[in-house]
A = this chain, B = another copy of it.
Amino acid sequence: MINLNTEELTAIFRKYGLKLTTQRLAIFKLIISRKDHPTTEQIYEALKSDYPTISLGTIYKTLHLLQELGLIQELGFSEGKIRYDPNLEPHINMVCTKCGQVNDYEPKSLKPLWKDMVSKLNFEPTGQRIDLYYICDKCKKKE
């Protein structure tokens, strides 16, 4: 998980001649506060009460920018939506195959095992994505 404060973020933006606007800061803070990798729509819904004029376009542009800066990763799903994940470390995305909900899962045992696994490969990856499919409690109850 990235653990940047506002000053550090400002510094990164300044380095590239970018401006840290109210909207960008709000989007960034929201994304790092959540473990469910929201879609743009969900981010929009979450922010529009505090920022009534914010637009979906800005959200898309900002998220894409954050990914280019290496601060988050974009995860495509087969439902045809992109979700945004601020956690670049090896971790598990638990994906409900019924409702599509995603949640981070970070068992302590994962990282050493993962490191071990990756060390046995013949190349050095620049990142990773690990999804586990299951049916969440809510959806189980519905059945």
A residues sitting closer than 8 Å to B (CB atoms) are 74-82, 92, 97, 105, 107, 109-110, 113-114, 116-118, 120-121, 123-135
Q: Oligomeric state, in number of copies?
A: 2
Contact of A128 among B126, B128, B131 (CB under 8 A): B131
Q: Is A134 within 8 A of B129, CB to CB?
A: no
Contacts of A133 in B (CB 8 A): 125-129
Docked Cα-Cα span, A132 to B133, in Å, equals 18
Kindly report which residue of chain B lies nearest to residue A133, judged by CB atoms: B127
Q: Is A120 within 8 A of B107, CB to CB?
A: yes
Kindly report which residue of chain B lies nearest to residue A105, judged by CB atoms: B121
Q: Is A76 within 8 A of B79, CB to CB?
A: yes
